[in-house]
Amino acid sequence: MDESGSQLKKFQKELSSGTVSLVLLAVLGQSRQPMYGYQIAKRLEDVGEGVLAGKQSALYPVLRNLEAAGLLASEVEPSVSGPPRRYYRITKSGRESLREWTSAWNATRDSVDNVLQGGVP
Amino acid sequence: MNAPRTIAEYLDQLRAALRGADPALIQDALYDAEEHLRAELAEQPGRGEAEMLEHVVGSYGAPDEVAEIYRDQEIRIQRAIRPPPPPRRRSLVGRFFGVAADGHTYGALFYMMLSLVTGIFYFTWAVAGISMSGGFSVLIIGIPFVVLFFSSVRGLSLLEGRIVEAMLGVRMPRRPPYPTEQGQSLLKRIGAMFLDARTWSTIFYMLLMLPLGILYFTVTVTMLAVSLGFVAAPLIKAFGFDVINISTDSFSYYGPGWAGTVGFCVLGIVLLFVTLHMVRGLGRLHGHLAKHLLVASAAT
């Protein structure tokens, strides 16, 4: 791989590691029903390449960390057609964090946009 | 590494790629991968396993890529979750008293107190479960009962792991080992539970917890009581009592004076810190024991 390609890859990785928690919280915050890991991965796949430049395996440890922090709750349910699945849903403190993180993200995005568009004198 | 053709092969490769990592991390990673792969397989039942895996290597990641991601994540998790390590002290005195600033010391202290309760509970559960399984084995409810008992052992193993990680700071798995294959017959699955060395090592751990719990609790409480008693010696003296008050027919001693009392107090403080060191050391030892009996066999 050439130099700029690997630099780009590294940058994408850093971006996604910074935003993936927010995205997972948001997906579960919008969903009416609890979702399992695979379902979340597919949902993000539909959204596009941008959010998770990396591999879907990166989702699972993050889900677990969010659960450990009390922002998500999970339970295992047997399924009719396949293997047992671990369903995640957002908790009350998860919703609070989502609100705060969203405004933090908006502030970051706006200021980055400002800089990129030359808004800084 | 050649491309995996079956889920078992993929998991083997992942296990190989994670060799040397923390056994608890390996158990979690394998659980996640198996859940994802089985979900992917169930999504399109018409597709063969090899074909599905070809696709998964692109989306979920090849085994060595996944291993890389988990190792990366683990470093970040450790940094985020753990309290910052106490500053390293150079001097002997600093290291001796520094134990009081280490969060793990108090976690271990609490664990030692708790271990009497959990020890009694685990022991009772294991003994009752084993003997009832033995007794029921001649009846029709024998096998369901054994299965129920074994699953409760797995659940308790995970719970104890959470306690050990929270109190003693030893990384333990957050996910159980993945349930055995769906396709197998019921009898085979029960057989697998019997043959799983970890089921037995967990039961052994549960039995061991009673004597260990009693030992931890007794030693900790005794040492704490003795050292705190010594520390409080000047208080007793200040109220006008004698710290040592012996009187028999042939021999009596009331004392000591203030110098001796302060000496007792200093001794008590030293003993208190020795206790803290001992508790932290016991906690570390117990963490290793728990990891060995509750997790390590999963990784091999």
Amino acid at B224: L
Mean pLDDT over B153-176 rounds to: 85
Contacts with A, B 194-233, CB within 8 Å: none
Name the residue with higher pLDDT: B204 or B63: B204
Q: Where are the domains of chain B?
A: 1-81, 87-300
Mean pLDDT over B43-61 rounds to: 78
B85 pLDDT above the threshold of 70 = no
Q: Does residue A105 belong to any structural domain of this protein?
A: yes
Q: Does residue A111 belong to any structural domain of this protein?
A: yes
Q: Does residue A121 belong to any structural domain of this protein?
A: no
**Mapped to the 3 state alphabet, what secondary structure does B67-101 carry?**
HHHHHHHHHHHHHHHCCCCCCCCCCHHHHHHHHHH
The predicted structure's pLDDT at residue A36? 86
Here the CATH number for the domain that contains residue A96 is 1.10.10.10
Minimum Cα–Cα distance from A39: chain B residue: B39
The predicted structure's pLDDT at residue B298? 45
A119 interfaces chain B, CB cutoff of 8 Å: no
- Per-residue pLDDT band for B299 (boundaries 50, 70, 90) equals very low
In chain B, what percentage of residues exceed pLDDT 90? 26
- A54-112 confidence digits (pLDDT tens): 678 888 888 888 888 888 988 888 766 666 788 898 999 999 989 999 999 999 999 88
Q: pTM for this structure?
A: 0.66
Lowest mean pLDDT: which of B104-108, B134-138, B182-186? Answer: B182-186
B35 interfaces chain A, CB cutoff of 8 Å: yes
From A68, A82, A85, residue closest to B174, measured CB to CB: A68
Mean pLDDT over B22-48 rounds to: 81
Amino acid at B106: Y
ipTM of the complex: 0.73
| Residue ranges making up the domain that contains A19 | 3-116
Opening angle at CA B294, ends B169 and B4, nearest 5: 105
Torsion region of B182: left, alpha or beta (phi above 0 gives left; psi -120 to 50 gives alpha): alpha
Q: How far apart are CA B59 and CA B54, in angstroms?
A: 9
The predicted structure's pLDDT at residue B56? 78
The predicted structure's pLDDT at residue B80? 55
Q: Does residue A74 belong to any structural domain of this protein?
A: yes
The predicted structure's pLDDT at residue A62? 86
From B65, B174, B179, residue closest to A64, measured CB to CB: B174
Report the DSSP beta bridge partners of residue A74. Answer: A88
The predicted structure's pLDDT at residue B39? 81
Q: How far apart are CA A9 and CA B150, in angstroms?
A: 46
A26 interfaces chain B, CB cutoff of 8 Å: no
How many domains in chain A?
A: 1
Tell me the average pLDDT of chain B. Answer: 83
